Structure 1
Amino acid sequence: MPRAGAGAGTTAGAAAVHLLGTGTALPGEPVGNDRLSHRLGIPSAWVETFIGTRTRHFAVDLDSGRVRWTLEDLCTDAADRALADAGAEPSEVGFIVLATATPDALMPTTAALLADRLGIEGAAAYQLQSGCGGAVQAFAVARALLSVTPSGLGLVVGGDVCSKHLDLSQDFRELPPGALVNYVLFGDGAGAAVVSGTRRPGTQAVLTHLEHRLAGLGLPPGQRVEWFGAADLRSPDSRPPAVTEDYKAVEHRVPVLARELRDTLLTASGWRPETVDYLLPPQLSGRMTERITSELGHGFEWEPVSCVAETGNNGNALVFLQLDRLLPRLTPTQRALALAVESSKWIRAGFTVEAPQEAPDA
């Protein structure tokens, strides 16, 4: 007999997710490398050369550390825009699935607070603890919910406020590169999509073959994000850093997992590479994403849809930001591959995207 869980994550043949509208939210004005370098006391050229991210957005004030936007704020803005884009009312939403690694609190969940802010009474609100693969997880959960009520509407949301983990009071000149990279790599933001199990007038795209698999059995995590509270009695000096990342392991493993995921999705969908029009590559940093995109699309005329060089790595929001850029370009008969690799425990996640083909039933 196969082991329990063998084959989990493969979703070929299951019902599709119809995208009716998307929306995104980024806090404040973009923070460029000159501004960030001045604040951190590091050379702007270092950021440009090794990271390649040009701008990012922060929910906290860089000078004072004051929180200006919460995750709830950003998710609400993104959801409002997605509903408007879909021409839908909050009262039509039957469930919310929210993916995040950085909730505002452990309880109440940001998903429940979002439902309250939107004025949605009686909706089911689910929250997933996840990293960059969270958007795909959320779409997979939404698809399962829509299989029960295909004609209903759901709201899929992803977002992160990574800057809450960054200590802006320290002397950045004393930090090693492995710790300093987190201050220039990440950004904050949120995204949302209104989904249905069946095509409706105004359907913008269809997500078909979803893939979400653990790919790091026995390997140490590539990233770890701590949670500290009153129960943690260690002194601040003895606590581990809030965010740690094995950047060398990320550079080595993510391209490999991305290629595996690309091939898996092409096989599951039965698509030939030359029939794909767009590639939504994994979003890590401007420099690394450029390299991975070049390797994944080598020999094919795939137009990349990327955002990380302008938005920073904002975790669970990234796929939504890419979809928000893709949908206005997608024309009938066109296709896209969306790939995400989460380094926390090496998770590969992605889906295929198609323009809607047939007119909805009268």
Structure 2
Amino acid sequence: MTVETARRAVITGTGSALPRRQVTNAELARTVDTSDEWIVERTGIRTRYIAGEGETTSTLATEAARNAIAAAGIAATEIDLIILATATPDQTFPASATIVQTALGIDDCVSFDVQAVCSGFLYAMTVADSMIRSGAASTALVIGAETFSRILDWEDRTTCVLFGDGAGAVVLRAEEGTRGVLAARLHADGRHNQLLYVDGGPSTTQTVGKLRMRGQEVFRHAVTNLASVLREVMDAAGLATSDIDWVVPHQANRRILDATARKLGLPAESVIVTVDRHANTSAASVPLALDVAIRDGRIKRGDLLVLEAMGGGFTWGAAAIRY
């Protein structure tokens, strides 16, 4: 099916960054009541990366951004929009995006954070796409970056084994043609606040708080919502699920990825999986997985991608992209 030529946000470069320290399940099991077998069977996770001294959300975001800018073959000063998706900013304010802006040597551009937890990158990309389509921006840097290790309760084995730190970034440029973001759809339902949340904040406890989750209920909502929004975005793009070359999903749990693919009738080999090595990096997981699959050659120019995610809130969304 042909797609109309229009001003679109085209991915011209991707990049990612991980902390120096890789932590295996076996290492975790020395301090947490768990085992490699227990974690792998329930989640598919084998390792994750944990930020150390001097590594923050903004430092990881900056490294990922530099890699994406290099891949795009542009100067940082060409960027006129930076959106950083994160639930773990360096400071309550100002936005960590402005820290990245300064680190990149950009004196003036629109820079702000988006907070939609694991769906944050999809939210940020959709905002950037809208600004590019409207002419409000021409070259956007969209980043997902997290240091979730700093809001984990390391005595709660049901949550602390699931998450890791990292960052991923894309450069979007305005181009006329059939490539780029074809359609995006976002959702939120705040009734489910207590299923996945952090038990603190400046306005309530004056503390950062710790992550809390009711995993089985999150799993059930995730499979239903992700399958639904994927179908929705494909309908909006005028395409069928059979047209999809690659699904780049939020990397929360291998069982969620497999169940969603089965529900949609998609072959498992068309789903990009990095949860085994990165664990759940929240807003960073989609751009991290995207960068891995582009750099290892699986994703090629012209491929049809669907990016999708669900996170606390609940928030969820998907985007259909002709790479």
Give your verdict on TM over 0.5.
yes
- In the aligned structure 1, how far is the partner of 2:208 from the partner of 2:51? 23
Gaps of 5+ in 2: none
What is the letter of the counterpart of residue 319 of structure 2? F
Change (3 A) 1:147 1:288: closer
**Correspondent of 1:315 among 261, 282, 285:** 282
What does residue range 96-107 of structure 1 map to in structure 2 within 5 Å?
96-107=82-93
2:122–2:307 CA contact under 8 A, matched in 1:
no
1:150–1:196 CA contact under 8 A, matched in 2:
no
* 1:138 equivalent in structure 2: 124
1:350: how far off?
Answer: 0.8
What is the letter of the counterpart of residue 182 of structure 1? T
* 1:26 equivalent in structure 2: 18
1:13–1:209 CA contact under 8 A, matched in 2:
no
* 2:39 equivalent in structure 1: 47
1:33–1:54 CA contact under 8 A, matched in 2:
yes
**Correspondent of 1:272 among 240, 248, 258:** 240
- In the aligned structure 1, how far is the partner of 2:309 from the partner of 2:110? 26
1:221–1:346 CA contact under 8 A, matched in 2:
no
* 1:358 equivalent in structure 2: none
**Correspondent of 1:291 among 252, 259, 269:** 259
Name whichever of 222-231 and 267-276 sits farther off: 222-231
* 1:324 equivalent in structure 2: 291
What does residue range 43-122 of structure 1 map to in structure 2 within 5 Å?
43-60=35-52, 67-122=53-108
Structure 1 or 2: more strand by fraction: 2
1:325: how far off?
Answer: 3.0
Over the aligned positions, Cα root-mean-square deviation in angstroms equals 2.7
* 2:184 equivalent in structure 1: 210
Deviations 1:193-246 (A, max 9, x none): 11112159xx9x6221011112x364444211244569847xxxxx99611111
**Correspondent of 1:126 among 112, 123, 126:** 112
- In the aligned structure 1, how far is the partner of 2:113 from the partner of 2:234? 30
* 1:236 equivalent in structure 2: none
* 1:193 equivalent in structure 2: 170
**Correspondent of 2:157 among 171, 180, 185:** 180
* 1:339 equivalent in structure 2: 308
Structure 1 or 2: more helix by fraction: 2
- In the aligned structure 2, how far is the partner of 1:18 from the partner of 1:322? 18
Q: Percent sequence identity over matched residues?
A: 25
2:196–2:211 CA contact under 8 A, matched in 1:
yes
1:21: how far off?
Answer: 0.2
Which protein shows a greater Rg? 1
Deviations 1:129-148 (A, max 9, x none): 22111111111221232234
SS of 2:135's partner is coil
- In the aligned structure 2, how far is the partner of 1:159 from the partner of 1:274? 31
* 1:37 equivalent in structure 2: 29
TM-score, with length taken from structure 1 = 0.80
TM-score, with length taken from structure 2 = 0.89
Deviations 1:294-328 (A, max 9, x none): 33334x58611121121010111111112213433
SS of 2:50's partner is coil
